[in-house]
Structures are given as C-alpha cells and as structure tokens.
C-alpha cells in the first residue's frame, strides 16, 4: 500500500475516533442534564452524579483537536493508536480503540528506539491540523535507513508560538518521558537550562500522577506555584488541555487567602526576610506582647478591690506558655489563672467572718457570680488586652516593622523598619503565614468554630431523636398500621440536612482556605524561593509530594537557593530525587551560542544545554544613541506585528517600552529584542538576568545597545548607527 492509500486509511480511522468521541460526548451531556434535574435521589447522590458527569464532559472536551497523534505497531503485528484520552469499543468487549498517552501500554511510543525497540516494529507520528490528519511519518525499527527521526518534534518546535504554553503530549522525548512517569513518592527535582522543557515536563508529570493516582489526588488537588502572574497565564492552559482541572495556580505572593501582592523588597531586605532566622524574630515578637504589669492593676468586684499583681500575671503567663497553645488560644489559660486568683481573693474578703472555705457550694456559687461579672467588666477586659492581647498576623507584623522599639526587642535587623508597616511585599507572605500558626485563631474565629460545633451537635441530637421516634413507631405498629409517606420524605429531608452542599469547585474552596492541604505541589523557578517560602509550601503538603523545577544558574533572588540539598534535606531527608534535562528544545543553536558565552561569565562550571535544532538566522546587535531608542523599538514592534507569532522587548527596569528580564522567566517568544544589555549586566545578578533575556527567543534575537557591547556578546554581528 502506497503512502496516499495509507494516509486515506488512517484518515478514516481517525474520523471514526472523532465520531465515537462525539457520540460519547452527546451521551454524557444528556446524562449530565438528567442528573441536574434528577428527582428521587438524595442530595448527595445527585451532587456526586452531577460532578462526575461534569468531569467526564471536561475530559472529552479537551480532545476535540489532536485526539489521536500516533500509532504503534508491535513486532507481533498488533496495532495501537495513541491519543489524548482513551476510548473503548463497547460492542467488542470494551477493547481499546485509542490508548490514553499515560497508559503503560502507550509508553513505547515515547521510548522505543532502533537500538531498543521494546517489542515494537514501527512508530507512526501523525501530523494534524485541528481535526484533519494532514500526513504522517514513520520510524521503522530494525531497518537501516528507514528511521526518519523527529519530524513531528521539529515541526512543533518551528511552529509560531501562541499566547500560551502548549502541551507536548504528541512529542514527548524519551528523557522527558522517564521523568514524567518516575515512580517516586517524595520530592523530585527537575533541573535544566533554558528551553529544556522542565516546566512542561513537570505539568505532564502532574497529569500522569492524576491519571495513575486519581482517588488520592482528586479530593485535595494539586498546587502549582510560579514566579509571576504572567508565567501562570502562560502555562495555565497545559493541564486543562490534558483534561485536568483540579489544580490551583498561584505565586508565592498569593499563598495567603485574601492577600495577593507582587511588590518586592530590596535584595538585602528580601534576604533577611527569607532567612529561617525570622522564625525566631517572629516568636520573640509574639512573646514581647505577653506583658507583666509594672504596677498592680486594681479590679473592683462587689465593692471589693482586688489587684492583678506582677507575680499573679507572671504565674498566669507561664501557665499559658506551658500549655503549648498558639498565642490567641493560650489567652484562655492566662485568663483562667488570673480569674481564679481574683475571685479567690474577692470571696475571701466579701465572705470574711460569715463564709467558710469548707462550704464548697456557697463558695462556688459566689465564684460563678463573680466570674460572670468579670466577663463584662471593662477594667478586667482592658487589663487582659494589655497583658495578653488578641493579635492578628497583619497587626503584629505591621507594628513590628513600623516600631523600631518592637523590632529591636524581637531581635530584628534595623533595616526591616519601614514607615508603613502594612505595605506588604512578596517576602512578607511567608512571615504572615508563619504568624497564623504562632498566633492561632482570634476571638471571632474561635467563636465561629464554637458556634459551628454547637450547631452540628444540635443537629445530630435532633436527627437522633427523630430517627428514634420513627423506629419506635415502626416497632409498635400493628399489621394494619403503616408509616405515612410524609414520614419517609421527612426522614429523607433530614438526611439531606447533613450532606455537604458546598457547590464551589475544588479550586475555589482551596483558594479560600488557608488550612487547605494538597496531595502534590509543583514549584517552578524554585531556585528563587527563600527558606521561609519553603516552610509555607511544606505546610501546604503534609505528604511531602513535590515536583521541584528550577535552574540554580538562573537564580536572581538574594534569598534563593544555592543548593537543592540545603533546601530539601531539612524536610525530606533521603526522600528526594534529582533529574536533569540537557537538551534545549526552545532556543536555536545560533542564539544559544551567544547565551552560552554569557553563562560562562558567571557560572563557568555549568554547561549550557545543547540545542536540538538550528534555524540559520543569526542574532544581531546594533549600537544606537539614547534619542534613537524609541524609534528603534517601534520599528521592531511594527516589523514583528506583520509576522506570525509573538515578540517582546526586554530591557532593564525603568526603560520605557521594555519588560524587565525577571518578568519573562519561563516564557518564550518567537522574536526577542534585548535593550541596553550593559545596564542589565550592571544590576544585581545582572549576568543571570541577561542570560534569561537572551534565551527567551525561539526564532530571532536582536540587541540594541548605547554603550560599547559587553565582551560576552562580542560574537554578535554588529552595526553602528552614525
């Protein structure tokens, strides 16, 4: 059979898959509508049915384009088609007509080679446009000269970039597949230089884990942490395109519900705030608010004046601290001790001469009255607030920053002082989160929890009484008696009262709940995270299941990681694995040669990733005057707008019309114009930032400079404007 005949045969098969997909989608959609209007089931059953059908609809919808992207022929003659999702033939013992790319049987599609065919005779890769099959390429294992290589991969790499990262499900390479499917329950570190695909590999690993560990993952979901909102927008379509939506995307500045910040501190301040030493500073700041009175505090009770003396307060303070409770919750212990002493002293004076300590009932009756009086006594409440105040993380940290005396008392560095204590930065978020644990719930939160507990207990008692009543009626019925239908309906309604009717999605619930824990966490650009950032993330994932993505050579943060071992050993000793990616799939060899010289300037021991392709387009540099810069940027933008794809102008902070290198980390563009590389180099971690800027391009790179071109860029073809 010739190529055209085979192509037509494959088109017919793929068309049949789409017909099956459309039929399945229609069936699930009808079942979803039926579930929405269902009657007779309990609320829980209806809700579960609706959610299940909705998940299935989303799974089917992601496969609308690129449903099937390849085929495997085994040496035994068996044929398997590989795609985004799995489809079964219900009329033929549910035989698979399309294998999900994550299924074990699909793995040879990514890993088989001529040297190690893994029982396969041929791999066929489909070239598609939307639903249309436009062609295919074959790799025939074991026949010299018939392996055509990665045609599909090169086509994908050379295609113009869109507005967001695309999945690589059709072109996963063997080294990537090994990482995606790695069976490791702890922390996996994926390190690679620019363009090695570490981010997209991590996201496909999440999709694989959610496929193989569905029950474990789906109730708590996955957290993905990225460096900035633009990066999250860029990668946000990958997992939904693979059928996975129970994923929360955020930055470290958004890890605390109700607070989202992007402002950054100066490097030295960020380094101080990111250090684990801040835990001791925060603890000291809390302890500093647990005060003793300088002079006894008088409290009037039944016309008798008693005092909160320093020794009483010290006893109460020690008992509260020894309780091990967070500060706000330990206030109850402090209050209990002080109340006990005050009431004992008051009763002794009030009852002097007529009440004996041995008359326990009278003594306790009087104590109850005095305790009730104290609960509304403004002087007593004011004394408690002065000695053991209820604190919020925002209040305590804001006052710590804005009050030099409090900062000094807590052992904080003076450079942490700022006039507006609550001008929050990204580095403050882990400190505020730490304080949530140190302080515990405030009064309003405790009251709400107590009210919710009381309501649940009341509902449980009510349900028990009603159900007991129904059971007793049934036990005492004569043969002619019967339970009324209204009784059964009432019992059903009663059961529904105790079901969870929270209709929010998992993502919505997780984002609103600081105490939410995830089954897996992905940390991208992880080299930028501080020690305090890691404490927050470890609290969010008690199971310590992480995929950590980064490149130590690209670190720009003064508080960031210098060694993966230093970061991870305190939390997962012996439970983390390291894998590296060495092939650059993004950057053409012509551009990578320039970037590699910059890398050698600041990280001589780090080897630049090897580009998988060359496009024949040489990067260029042009020297211009400051007055010519706006026109040059405008010219670049106009020319790129006429081409297909994306472009960006990257420059040092403050240059109009440019984006700082830090805001482009993890992103990619068809064309990049780097402005004033000499000024980028002059900044903190300047060489690393220039390296980032140079490696964003997938096709074309240009450089505009005013001062002489830095030595590391001397290989660029240059022109001079006179």
Annotated binding-site residue? 443 = no
Annotated binding-site residue? 369 = no
Is 342 within 8 Å of 301 (Cβ atoms)?
Answer: yes
149 φψ region: left (φ > 0), alpha (ψ -120 to 50), beta (else): left
Tokens 């440019």 belong to 658
Annotated binding-site residue? 193 = yes
Among residues 689, 664, 705, 718, the alpha carbon closest in space to that of 601 is found at 689
Among residues 119, 46, 125, 56, the alpha carbon closest in space to that of 87 is found at 56
Supply the Cα-derived Rg of the chain in whole angstroms.
33
Non-local (6+) Cβ contacts of 189 within 8 A are 526, 548, 549, 550, 564, 568, 576, 577, 578, 579
Annotated binding-site residue? 196 = yes
The residue count for the chain: 722
Q: Quote the CA–CA distance of 262 and 229 in Å, as a whole number.
A: 9
Annotated binding-site residue? 195 = yes
Among residues 699, 673, 693, the alpha carbon closest in space to that of 617 is found at 699
Exposed/middle/buried for 82, CB within 10 Å: 0-12, 13-18, 19+? buried
Q: What order do you get walking across the sheet with 222-226 strand by strand?
A: 247-251, 222-226, 520-523, 546-550, 187-192, 576-581
Annotated binding-site residue? 194 = yes
Q: Quote the CA–CA distance of 641 and 620 in Å, as a whole number.
A: 19
Q: Quote the CA–CA distance of 433 and 431 in Å, as a whole number.
A: 5
Is 348 within 8 Å of 341 (Cβ atoms)?
Answer: no
Question: Residue 307: beta bridge partners?
Answer: 298
Q: Quote the CA–CA distance of 581 and 655 in Å, as a whole number.
A: 34
Give the residue ranges of the annotated binding site for ATP.
Answer: 192-199
């Amino acid at each position: 059979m010739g190529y055209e005949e085979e192509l037509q045969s494959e088109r017919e098969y793929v068309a049949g898959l789409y017909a099956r997909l459309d039929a399945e989608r229609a069936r699930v959609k009808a079942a979803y509508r039926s579930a929405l209007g269902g009657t007779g089931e309990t609320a829980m059953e209806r809700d579960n049915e609706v959610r299940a059908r909705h998940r299935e609809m989303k799974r089917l919808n992601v496969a609308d384009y690129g449903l099937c992207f390849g085929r495997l022929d085994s040496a035994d003659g068996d044929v398997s088609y590989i795609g985004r999702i799995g489809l079964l033939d219900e009329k033929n013992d549910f035989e698979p007509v399309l294998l999900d790319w994550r299924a074990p049987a699909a793995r040879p599609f990514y890993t088989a080679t001529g040297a190690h065919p893994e029982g396969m005779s041929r791999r066929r890769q489909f070239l598609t446009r939307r639903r249309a099959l436009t062609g295919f390429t074959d790799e025939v294992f074991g026949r010299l000269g018939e392996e055509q290589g990665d045609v599909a991969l090169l086509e994908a790499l050379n295609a113009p970039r869109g507005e967001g990262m695309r999945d690589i499900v059709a072109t996963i390479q063997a080294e990537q597949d090994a990482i995606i499917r790695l069976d490791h329950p702890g922390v996996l570190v994926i390190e690679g230089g620019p363009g090695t695909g570490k981010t997209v590999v991590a996201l496909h690993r999440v999709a694989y884990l959610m496929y193989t560990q569905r029950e474990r993952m789906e109730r708590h979901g996955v957290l993905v942490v990225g460096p900035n909102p633009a990066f999250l927008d860029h990668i946000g379509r990958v997992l939904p395109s693979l059928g996975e939506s129970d994923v929360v995307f955020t930055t470290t500045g958004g890890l605390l519900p109700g607070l989202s910040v992007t402002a950054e501190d100066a490097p030295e301040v960020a380094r101080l705030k990111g250090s684990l030493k801040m835990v001791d500073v925060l603890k000291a700041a809390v302890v500093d608010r647990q005060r003793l009175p300088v002079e006894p505090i008088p409290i009037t009770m039944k016309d008798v004046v008693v005092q909160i003396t320093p020794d009483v307060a010290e006893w109460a303070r020690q008992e509260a601290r020894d309780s091990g409770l967070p500060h706000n919750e330990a206030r109850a212990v402090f209050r209990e001790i002080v109340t006990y002493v005050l009431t004992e002293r008051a009763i002794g004076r009030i009852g002097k001469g007529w009440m004996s300590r041995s008359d326990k009932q009278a003594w306790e009756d009087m104590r109850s009255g005095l305790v009730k009086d104290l609960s509304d006594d403004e002087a007593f409440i004011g004394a408690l607030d002065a000695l053991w105040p209820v604190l919020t993380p925002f209040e305590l940290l804001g006052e710590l920053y804005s009050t030099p005396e409090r900062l000094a008392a807590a052992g904080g560095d003076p450079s942490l002082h700022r006039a507006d204590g609550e001008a929050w930065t990204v580095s403050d978020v882990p400190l505020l989160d730490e304080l949530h644990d140190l302080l515990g719930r405030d009064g309003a939160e405790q009251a709400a929890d107590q009210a919710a507990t009381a309501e649940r207990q009341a509902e449980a008692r009510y349900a028990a009484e009603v159900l007991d009543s129904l059971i007793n009626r049934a036990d005492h019925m004569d043969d002619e008696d019967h339970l009324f239908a209204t009784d059964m309906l009432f019992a059903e309604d009663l059961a529904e009262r105790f079901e969870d009717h929270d209709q929010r999605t998992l993502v919505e619930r997780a984002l609103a709940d600081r105490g939410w824990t995830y089954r897996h966490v992905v940390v991208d650009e992880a080299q930028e995270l501080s020690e305090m950032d890691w404490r927050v993330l470890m609290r969010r994932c008690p199971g310590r299941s992480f995929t950590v993505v980064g490149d130590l050579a690209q670190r720009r943060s003064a508080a960031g990681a210098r060694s993966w071992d230093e970061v991870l050993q305190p939390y997962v000793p012996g439970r983390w694995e390291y894998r590296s990616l060495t092939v650059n799939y993004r950057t053409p060899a012509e551009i990578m040669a320039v970037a590699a010289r910059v890398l050698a300037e600041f990280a001589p021991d780090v080897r630049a990733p090897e580009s998988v392709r060359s496009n024949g387009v040489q990067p260029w540099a042009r020297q211009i005057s400051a007055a010519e810069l706006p026109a040059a940027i405008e010219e670049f933008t106009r020319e790129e707008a006429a081409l297909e794809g994306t472009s960006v102008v990257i420059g040092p902070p403050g240059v109009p019309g440019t984006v700082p290198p830090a805001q482009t980390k993890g992103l990619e563009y068809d064309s990049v114009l780097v402005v004033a590389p000499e000024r980028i180099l002059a900044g903190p971690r300047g060489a690393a930032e220039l390296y980032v800027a140079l490696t964003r391009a997938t096709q074309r790179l240009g450089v505009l400079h005013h001062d002489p071109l830095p030595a590391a860029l001397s290989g660029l073809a240059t022109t001079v404007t006179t």
